[in-house]
Chain A
Amino acid sequence: MSTSNTSVQGQRLGLTCCPTCTNLCQTQQTICSRCGQAVTSRDHSSIQKSWALLITAAILLFPANLYPITVMTSQGQVRKDTIFSGINHLIQLDLLPIAIILFTASILVPMLKIVGLGIYLLAISFELPISKRKLMAGFHIIEWIGRWSMLDLFVISITAALVNMGQIFDAKPAPAATAFALVILLTQLAAKVLDTRLLWDRLESNDDRN
């Protein structure tokens, strides 16, 4: 499909799309006529908000991975597991499929999200010549897989509730669990607040091919 004659921004026609109900509004409107919520053509502060959330999440990623996330007691022996050592332990137990699921949900997805969103924000903030189409494809993947990080927290809550027999057999969450929960929350928010239309405005001149 040729982009030369089809790529007209809504902004150029003086139109914008209500973020709440997707109703078409005129750019000078401040309140959507259908749902009564605030309408803005572009949210320029969203880049700053998204950066702030993302940087906080990136910092929290360290305690989330370095501190233990669960404490397991089995026949008097106490094991403190970090996310990584827990997965390692699963591999030793020959539970490779489970190890792969947990590795993807707890390590790969949060890292990819932070790196991916970082690249995306850098591209908007510094007008880097990266293909917009690729950035957007990455963004859609980030939005879709992000929620799967919750898996580990669910598993911890089920395990902690079931395995609770004092010295003989016991499982408890450890400090990294809170840090990890905050990483998930903050990265989801960072993707949600970002106004992706800014990418297509700002890179228009640098990368017209895409």
Chain B
Amino acid sequence: MDRDVLDKSIVLCRSCDLVVRKRALPSGVRALCPRCNSYLYDTPYCSINGMLALCLAALALYFPANFFPVLELHFLGSIRTTTIFGGAMSVADQGYWVVAIAVLTAAVIAPGLLILSVLFQVLIVKYQLHNPFFRKIYKGFLCQHKLISQLSMLEIYMISIFVSVFQLSDYTDLYFGIGTFCFTMLFIVVIFLQREYDIEHMWSVLDEYQ
């Protein structure tokens, strides 16, 4: 059976295995499965240069967001600060390493890997896709993408900072640090990056160069 003909005309729903005929969509519209309402496909934005710019911006914000203090606590004349990384480490110091690993993975490691992975994908598409070695790496990145993006939870950490502020404001004075600003900006840039990125499109780029 000719795979290329099949590819263009139908899709299978990942949740319920329904055969759905593919139609052209206006941009910004998502196609859902008519039977179980799972997401099927949409029209990608996916400008390679746009993604490159967003990746570089995210990378520039990533380090200050993680290593500058997000919160400052003023208590009886002494000042304590914490970073995202420091938060995870202080939990680990007290023996709760399962919690520490969860926090580190969701707030530091996965977002970092996500940015790097997209950056490398974009660079490979832009400069090296004809090279078999880089094609293999590109494939590897695409295979891991879903897992990495599920693990990255910047939005939840954002809300957590505000919840902590309200919880502690009853006991003491709290101030936002530079880290909070960088982290908020990082969060916004990553939202745009995820909006621009489309895994289906990235796979089809690989097919086109074959």
Contacts and interface: CB of A to CB of B under 8 A. Distances in A.
A153 B99 contact: yes
Interface of B: 1, 3, 6-7, 10-19, 34-38, 70-71, 73, 75-76, 78, 80-82, 86-91, 94, 96, 98-100, 102-103, 106-107, 139, 142-143, 146, 150, 153, 156-157, 159-161, 163-164, 166-168, 170-172, 174, 199-200, 203, 206-207
Contacts of B166: 95, 97-98
Given A9-B18, A157-B87, A160-B87, A178 B98 contact: yes
A98 B167 contact: yes
Given A24-B10, A160-B87, 12 more contacts: A17-B12, A98-B167, A101-B163, A136-B16, A153-B103, A154-B157, A157-B87, A160-B94, A161-B90, A162-B73, A163-B171, A197-B16
A133 B35 CA distance: 7
A97 B167 CA distance: 11
A205 interface: no
Contacts of B106: 150, 154
B15 A136 contact: yes
Contact of B76 (A23, A36, A168): A168
25 contacts: A10-B12, A21-B143, A22-B11, A22-B14, A22-B200, A24-B6, A34-B203, A34-B207, A36-B139, A93-B170, A98-B166, A101-B159, A102-B163, A154-B156, A155-B167, A157-B90, A157-B91, A157-B103, A161-B86, A164-B80, A169-B172, A172-B94, A173-B94, A181-B99, A185-B102
B77 to A, nearest CB: 11
Interface residues of A, number: 71
B163 A151 contact: yes
B98 A182 contact: yes
Interface string A1-25: 1010011111101011101111110
A1 B21 CA distance: 14
Given A133-B36, A177-B99, A20 B71 contact: no
Contacts of B76: 168-169
B12 A16 contact: yes
A158 interface: yes
A56 interface: no
A49 interface: no
A101 to B, nearest CB: 6
B200 A160 contact: no
Report, nearest first, the 6 A-B pairs whose CB atoms are least far apart.
A154-B160, A161-B82, A157-B87, A10-B12, A17-B12, A161-B90
Contacts of B89: 161
A35 B143 contact: yes
Interface in A135-162: 136-137, 139-140, 147-148, 150-151, 153-162
Contacts of B159: 101, 151
Contact of B203 (A23, A161, A182): A23
A62 B14 CA distance: 34
B73 A147 contact: no
A147 B99 contact: no
B21 to A, nearest CB: 9
B197 to A, nearest CB: 15
**In the complex, which of the residues B70, B76, B166, B206 has the most CB atoms of chain A within 10 Å of its own CB atom?**
B166
A199 interface: yes
Contacts of B206: 34
